[in-house]
Amino acid sequence: MDGIKILAKERLELHGIKPSMQRMAVMEYLITHRTHPTAEMIFTDLYPEMPTLSKATVYNTLNLLVERGVVRLITIEEKNARYDACMDPHIHFRCRNCGAILDIDVEKHWIPDMPAGMSVDMSETYCIGRCTKCNN
C-alpha cells in the first residue's frame, strides 16, 4: 500500500469512517489534487477508473467527510461548492480572471485575540483578486 493510500485510510479511520473503496478513492483524490475540486470534477476524474461509482456516492462521501471534519467545504464561489483536504490553517484566494483557487499559508495562530467569552473553532478567510499569472 503506497503512502497516499495509507494516509487516506488513516485519516478516514481517525474520524470513525469505514474506508470503503469509494471513500478511499475520494479521499486519495482530495489528498493528491490540491486544486479545490468540485464534486463533479472528482466524479469526472474517478469514473473512468471506477465505472461503478455514482455521483450520489461522491456527494454522500463528501458530505460525510465534511461532517466528520476530514475535509473542508469551501464556498468561495457562489455556484460551486469546493473541497479541500488540507486542514492546516490557510487562506483561500480565487482569481477573478482565470478562476484558480489557491492556498495562501498563514501563521498557525493568526486569528486575532477574541473578546472575553468567545472562542474560535474554525475560521475561513477568502480573498478574491487576480493571481500572479493573470497580473503579468
Same domain? For 95 and 128 the reply is yes
- pLDDT of 109 reads 57
Asked if 126 contacts 94 with a C-beta cutoff of 8 angstroms, the reply is yes
- pLDDT of 70 reads 96
> Which residues of the chain carry a pLDDT beneath 50?
none
| Domain of residue 128, residue span | 90-135
- pLDDT of 46 reads 98
Same domain? For 15 and 78 the reply is yes
- pLDDT of 108 reads 61
Same domain? For 77 and 41 the reply is yes
Identify any residues that bridge with 129 across adjacent strands, giving them in sequence order.
95
- pLDDT of 111 reads 67
Same domain? For 7 and 61 the reply is yes
**In the chain, how many domains are there?**
2
Same domain? For 78 and 101 the reply is no
pTM of the shown model: 0.86
Q: Is 117 exposed, middle or buried (0-12, 13-18, 19+ CB in 10 A)?
A: exposed
DSSP state of 106: -
**How many Cβ atoms from other residues are within 10 Å of residue 132's Cβ?**
9
CATH label of the domain that carries residue 61: 1.10.10.10
Backbone angles phi, psi at 55, to 5 degrees: -60, -40
Same domain? For 30 and 52 the reply is yes
